[in-house]
């Protein structure tokens, strides 16, 4: 019980899984959430425990107020939450000119409103110097012709997080935004070899990012070396997009 606690939404796959493992290595006990797939989450928990640390996986649909409410009374909340990583999200490729209001509402409910709901639930349990990282996207700044709802949700999320950083800064808490570019996660799983080569050619560093690349940046943002950084959007994309 001496290790601080990091809560990671969507912590069982992709960037969330890599972050769960990295923060466990950094000295945190990990409370991770999943929604639809318990097996990957439990595998991450087992991997962390096999290394001698502690982790738990809990089922939370962040768009469901009831499930978020149960998270708020989880026994580990009594330990205090030192790090909160809002990483969960959904992305459906829908052309901007074909997007319906229902598409937009569904995506906003998960990616934006769900993140705010989790933060509201966890807020009473945050330690005085808690650090929060919101996983946004480059698309939240530049937009996307085939993901307008996703881009809008990430833009809202980033702007809310920057506003929150200003509000909680005087308390000693920090909030930052990670904005990935192309990352080798489920979003790109359907790429053909030709599409993957096309993506790599677009990136100045000539490769798609890894979940571990993102986890390393998150580790920095919650660590002491970034103690004077808050309200920042850190674009981690190999030079693909330079706002």
Rounded CA separation 161/40 (Å): 28
Rounded CA separation 115/221 (Å): 18
- Name the pTM for this structure: 0.95
The length of the chain in residues reads: 243
Quick one: the chain helix, strand, coil %, rounded to 5?
A: 50, 20, 30
3-state secondary structure of 199: helix
Burial-class residue 127 by CB neighbours within 10 Å (0-12, 13-18, 19+).
middle
User: Where are the extended beta strands (E) located within the chain?
Assistant: 5-8, 29-34, 55-59, 81-86, 126-135, 174-180, 233-236
Rounded CA separation 131/176 (Å): 8
Q: Which pLDDT belongs to residue 1? A: 57
Q: Which pLDDT belongs to residue 52? A: 95
Rounded CA separation 182/205 (Å): 12
Rounded to 10 degrees, the C-alpha dihedral 231/143/215/82 comes to 40
- Per residue in 69-105, pLDDT (tens digit) is 999 999 999 999 999 999 999 888 788 899 999 999 9
Q: What is the mean pLDDT of residues 192-200?
A: 94
Q: Which two three-digit tokens encode residue 145?
A: 């012709």
Share of the chain above pLDDT 90, in %: 91
* Tokens 């999320």, located at residue: 157
CA distances, 169 to each of 68, 163, 176, 228 (Å):
25, 10, 11, 10
Q: Which pLDDT belongs to residue 117? A: 98
Q: What is the mean pLDDT of residues 140-153?
A: 93
Rounded CA separation 180/216 (Å): 12
Mean pLDDT of the chain: 96
Rounded CA separation 114/63 (Å): 5
The residues facing 58 across adjacent strands are 33
Task: Describe the crossing of helices 65-72 and 114-122 by its angle, rounded to 10 degrees.
Answer: 20
Determine which one of 28, 34, 91, 150 is catalytic. Answer: 150
Q: Which pLDDT belongs to residue 37? A: 87
Q: Which pLDDT belongs to residue 94? A: 85
| 150 classed as catalytic | yes
Domains of the chain: 5-236 (3.40.50.720)
How many distinct helices (H) and strands (E) make up the chain?
9, 7
Select the more confidently predicted residue: 67 or 95. Answer: 67
- Per residue in 5-53, pLDDT (tens digit) is 999 999 999 999 999 999 999 999 999 999 998 999 999 999 999 999 9
Q: Which pLDDT belongs to residue 92? A: 82
């Amino acid at each position: 019980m001496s290790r601080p606690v990091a809560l990671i939404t969507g912590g069982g796959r992709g960037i969330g899984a890599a972050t769960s493992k990295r923060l466990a290595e950094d000295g945190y006990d990990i409370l991770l959430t999943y929604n639809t797939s318990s097996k990957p989450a439990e595998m991450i928990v087992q991997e962390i425990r096999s290394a001698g640390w502690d982790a738990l996986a809990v089922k939370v649909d962040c768009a469901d107020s009831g499930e978020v409410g149960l998270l708020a009374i989880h026994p580990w909340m009594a330990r205090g939450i030192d790090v909160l990583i809002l990483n969960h999200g959904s992305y459906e490729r829908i052309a901007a000119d074909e997007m319906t209001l229902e598409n937009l509402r569904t995506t906003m409910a998960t990616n934006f409103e769900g993140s705010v709901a989790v933060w509201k639930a966890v807020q009473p349990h945050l330690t005085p110097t808690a650090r929060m990282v919101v996983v946004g996207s480059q698309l939240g700044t530049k937009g996307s012709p085939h993901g307008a709802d996703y881009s809008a949700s990430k833009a809202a999320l980033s702007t809310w997080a920057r506003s929150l950083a200003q509000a909680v800064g005087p308390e000693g808490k920090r909030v930052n935004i990670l904005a990935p570019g192309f990352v080798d996660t489920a979003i790109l799983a359907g790429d053909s070899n030709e599409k993957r080569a096309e993506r790599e050619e677009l990136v100045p560093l000539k490769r798609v990012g890894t979940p571990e690349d993102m986890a390393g940046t998150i580790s920095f943002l919650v660590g002491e070396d970034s103690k004077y950084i808050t309200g920042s959007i850190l674009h981690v994309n190999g030079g693909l997009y330079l706002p």
